[in-house]
Structure 1
Amino acid sequence: MKNDSQLQRDVMAELEWEPSIDHADIGVAVTDGVVTLSGFVKSYPQKLAAEKAARRVAGVKALAEEIKVRFASDPKTADHEIAKRILDMFSWNISIPGDKIAVKVEHGWVTLTGTVDWYYQSEEARKVAGKVNGVVGVSNLIEVRKLPTSGDIKDRIMAAFKRNADLDAASVTVFTDGGKVTLGGKVKAWNERQIAERAAWAAPGVTRVEDNIIIAF
């Protein structure tokens, strides 16, 4: 005797096998051999075809049919359609790093997860998701990355200087103001200055580097 999981897989396979049915929006649940079909189809004949397909699967004891007919002109509110619409809107919005955010939709409820650099990015994603037709609510679980402080940036740059055998770390000064780094001091050759500048740019959180290092020939 088939268990419910196997029966569910068989019904889904039969729906997929039937050429007259667009099964993409049909859900299948099975409890003690009783199959429940839910979701949407594009016509009444497809609704009947789905019911027949499920009934002919061996092991089905009873059928609860909750499929709704939705025409092409009707709003697209299936969960996967909502999710796709949200992802599309993320890709169009330059304020939202869509590649860092995951979208889950369950019965119209949207859950956003991931990590972004700034709070406004998380808030913009929440607002955009909430505007999509069919969304009944949004759980914003996006985390905002803790960006390095000026002190953190300076410490990381100085540590990078000390690791480099071709640079006299003691001869270079580092001043930080937010994401801006100002380099000063004296070095003996151009390549030392270039090493110092590259190390400064490599530190997380750096948005600008002002190189005031003097070459002492």
Structure 2
Amino acid sequence: MKSDEALWQEIEQTLRWERTIDARQIRVHVHNGVVTLTGTVPNMLEKQAVERALQGVVGCRALVMELSLPSESTYVKSDEMLASRIVAALSRMPELSADRVCVETEHGCVTLTGPVDTEKQRHAIETLICKIEGVIGVSNQLAVREPAVDDVATQITLALSMRLKREIDSISVDISDGIVTLSGIVGSLDEKRAACLAASQAQGVRQVIDQLGVA
């Protein structure tokens, strides 16, 4: 079993080596395998980065996060002002309708609801909001919209006609809960890759399952 001293050294080293973390204001205490972090981090995004960095440390029986944000220790912006800043930030995001995302704030905790086009867009919105001063936590309840079969098929057809000058007649598209399954026969590995890439870029697609064969 790893000693508390060895575990403390590994935690300290992990935090120092992680480029996305400024560990100068983080203090580490270890007792019987329980790691407690105290101090401050500049924003919610970095707080999440600390938690992710330490998830793989062997010997850590429990992780206690007592890291505070500057907004908690110095001043707390009103929820109304915070909501206004979030809405303004979202309005500057490309390809996102202003009324698409519903924002709720309570004591610095933000809840996001509404439909988005892709999982990438869903993650980008959360990342943006975590950087906003005054945000204590984010509950991301945004839902990726179910793509239409015609939209995915059109995307694939466009990609194949532009890159490989072929049609999509031999490709079957099945969609369930944002997961697209492609089956059928295509003429080459290049065409197979192009079809999968095109399907993955269609709005609402979370995953592509490739069951295409090559003639």
> TM over 0.5: same fold?
no
Bigger relative contact order (CA 8 A; separation at least 6): 2
TM-score (norm 1): 0.39
TM-score (norm 2): 0.39
Higher Cα Rg: structure 1 or 2?
A: 1
